[in-house]
Amino acid sequence: MPAEARPWANLRMQIAYRSKRLNTGHMIEADQRFGRRDAIGPHGVMLFFVSDAPGEPHGYKLHTAYRLWPQSPDSDNLSGLLSDLTAVAADNIATIGGRWSPLGPKGSMVNGGDMTLPAGATYVGVGVSTLDSDRGGWYQVARSVREAAAMGRNLSGFDLKGQCWALLTDGTALHIDRDPHARLGVTGIRCNKDLDVDQFTYFRPDEDLIERGDDATHAVWQQLAALHHTLAAHLLARRPA
C-alpha cells in the first residue's frame, strides 16, 4: 500500500473497533436499564475527530464523542432521528455561525465520550450505533433475554448482537456487524475501501456497500450522509488554509 494511503487504512480500522466498543457499552447500558424510567433508546450517533500526535504510529490520535437518547417513540426511529439531528445541526450553523461546534458548549449534539478536543482537532466522520440486528429489533431481543432467564437459560445482554454504520471524509463507508459469538477471525467489518495497511487491492468486494440492503438500510445511509455532509461542510470550512 502506498505510504500516503496507510494512515487512512489504519484510521478505518480504528474507527471500526472504536465503534464496536461503543456499541457494546451502549448494549450493556440499555440492557441494565431496560424497563426502567431511565431506559436508553436503541440508537446512538458517534462523531469522529483526529488530532496531531507525533508519538503515535501514524502521527494522529482518534477522538470519539457520542450521543445516546432516553427511550421514547422519537428515539426509536433511527432514520427520523438522523433527519432531526441534521435539521438541528443546520439550524445551529445558521443561528450560531462559524463558532458552532457539535461538541458545544452552545448547541451541543453529544452527551458522552471525548467532549473536549485538543486545539486543531479535525472532523473525519460520523457514525451510528444501533441495538437492532438481524436477530430482531432491540425491544424484541431484550425481551427474549428476560424470557430466557425466567426459563433458567444462561443468556444476557453480553450475548446480543449490535451494528454500526459510519461515513468518513475520504469517502469511506463502513458497516460493522458486532457479534459476540462470531467465529475467531470473523470481524464483521465491511468497507468500501482498503482496511489492511500492508496490502493494496484493486478488487474490493464491498465497494458497492452503500447500494446494498433493504429500504430501511438505504434510508439509514441516506440520512447519515445528509448529517455527515452538513457537519463536514461546516467544520472543514473552519480549518485554517
Residues 6+ apart with CB under 8 A from 19: 46, 127, 129, 164, 166, 174, 176
List the domain range (segments joined by +) for residue 212. Answer: 3-237
pLDDT in the model for residue 150: 60
* Low pLDDT (below 50) residues in the chain: 1-2, 241
pLDDT in the model for residue 158: 78
| Cα 70 from Cα 81, distance rounded (Å) | 12
Say how many domains are in the chain.
1
Are the C-beta atoms of 107 and 96 separated by less than 8 Å?
Answer: yes
**b (16+ CB within 10 A) / e for 144-177:** bbeeeeeeeeeeebebbbbbbbbbbbeebbbbbb
Pairing of strands 122-130, 40-52: antiparallel
